[in-house]
A and B are shown apart, each in its own frame.
Chain A
Amino acid sequence: MATLYRAASSDSLIVAPIDVLTAIYHRASGQTHLMASPAPEILEALADAPLDAGALLAKLRVDYDLVDADPEALIARLDELVETGLVERR
């Protein structure tokens, strides 16, 4: 079975778009993350339910009009988010 990715619940995050970067405060860890697209979009796409990488990519294409979405790059972003604890592998 493909790995599922689960994001921190949206009520545990404070999202403050600053300019091209978005500041995100994670209540559970007390950490602040400064993120560029598509990391905030990934968190939002995963907010409702855990998804595997393929389904996430499809959702990002539809919701955010991501035309040149690259599966490998997406995995790399997800790995970064897992390291921060904002996303958990299931």
Chain B
Amino acid sequence: MGLALDGRLLARALADPASVATLDSAGWQALLTMARAELLSATLAHRLDGIAKPAAAQRFLDDAKASCAQGRLVALWEVEMARRALGDLGVPVVLLKGSAFIAAGLAAGQGRFVGDLDILVPRAELDRVEAALLGAGWEWVKPDPYDDAYYRRWMHELPPLIHRVRDRMIDVHHTILPPTARPTPDADALIADSIALPNGLHMLNSDDMICHAAAHLFADGDLSGGMRNLWDIHRLVDDFGIAGLAERARRHGLAPAVRRALRLSHALYDTQLRDGWARSGSDDDLYLRRLTARDGWGRQTRPVTRLGFYVRSHWLRMPPLMLARHLWTKWRKQAG
């Protein structure tokens, strides 16, 4: 097949759909299995529309599309129910990530599987938002007082709420990174410069959406799901360009994260960047190896790199002393 059997097979099919013409049945099997594991199967289905493929592959991708369409419907309904619960508060409610992409009909939302509903509201309004959600049928997921206090003190969001009938989660953020992380995005600017949607809810402006996706990729996890995250960035850049992005990223303290995200997106998906952006960084190869650590059976590979990234991501989120305190409290609870 001319390519190592890892996530680059999937990246190439997404970036250059015609490339699948060379796949044999084993290649198709690997591609489809990887796409499913990376939650990119419906995205791939849309990208490969109109491209000749074996009947079994077509069927697989049709099913992925149908599954995504149903998920989209449910996600949009959660958006609508949040609007009904919060619409009268007079508080700006900003949809984040996948919910925003599909509510606004962006290319990044095509084939995007959406999980929880993530919203951003002003920190000063958290109490009213919380009360309105509790009044409309959402409940706490974790009744544990330590976890609750931990979230409220150290995280960038309320403890997760779940709707008692619909069984769907909502994450209410007041900024896009934990306060303990080193970059401190300008939350007021995120909200002030957000864009109103026809239903009265908001989404981040395009530069901020890219900043958020980059922040999420590096500071908020262990890079798992990174191929999808970078695909979001690729489509956002495609749609909106990057004219004001550098300045905006600096304002949020996210310039290094955004630069790296764009370089990786360029390397994986051939995202079109202007001169100067595409120069590769010192350990980009390490990131790429981690991002594409997926085999034709859908398994994550390269466990050594993975562990490194896990420790690193915890480090980024919490200064060391706080991490120790957090773990200690957890251990003590398990012992008791």
- Compute how far the CA of A8 lies from the CA of B80 in the bound complex, rounded to whole angstroms: 12
B84 interface contact, C-beta 8 A: yes
Give chain B residues whose Cβ lies under 8 Å from the Cβ of A40: none
* Cross-chain contact A83 with B70 (CB below 8 angstroms): no
Does A50 sit within 8 A of B, measured CB to CB? Answer: no
Per the 8 Å Cβ criterion, residues 57-75 of B in contact with A are 70, 73-74
Q: Are A28 and B80 interface neighbours, CB within 8 A? A: yes
A83 — which chain B residues lie within 8 A by C-beta?
Answer: 137, 165
Within 8 A of A (CB), among B27-85: 70, 73-74, 76-77, 80-81, 84
A88 near B84: Cβ-Cβ < 8 Å: yes
Contact B70 A30 (CB under 8 A): yes
On whether the beta carbons of A29 and B84 are closer than 8 Å, the reply is no
- Interface residues in A, total, Cβ within 8 A: 8
Q: Report the interface size class on chain B.
A: 10 to 19
One of B70, B73, B81 near A85 (C-beta < 8 A):
B81
Query: B74 contacts which chain A residues (CB < 8 A)?
Result: 29-30
Interface bits A13-55 vs B (CB < 8 Å: 1, else 0): 0000000000000011111000000000000000000000000
Tell whether, in the assembled complex, residue B137 and residue A29 are in contact, meaning their CB atoms are under 8 Å apart: no
Contacts of B137 in A (CB 8 A): 83
Complex: A30 Cα to B73 Cα, angstroms: 7
- Name 20 interchain pairs, CB-CB below 8 A, sorted by A: A27-B73, A28-B73, A28-B76, A28-B77, A28-B80, A29-B73, A29-B74, A29-B77, A30-B70, A30-B73, A30-B74, A30-B77, A31-B77, A83-B137, A83-B165, A85-B77, A85-B80, A85-B81, A85-B84, A88-B84
Known: A29-B73, A83-B165, A85-B81. 14 other contacts (CB 8 A): A27-B73, A28-B73, A28-B76, A28-B77, A28-B80, A29-B74, A29-B77, A30-B70, A30-B73, A30-B74, A31-B77, A85-B80, A85-B84, A88-B84
Interface residues of A (CB under 8 A from B): 27-31, 83, 85, 88
Please provide the 10 A-B residue pairs with the shortest distance between their CB atoms, ordered closest to farther. A29-B77, A30-B73, A30-B74, A28-B77, A85-B81, A30-B70, A88-B84, A30-B77, A83-B165, A28-B80
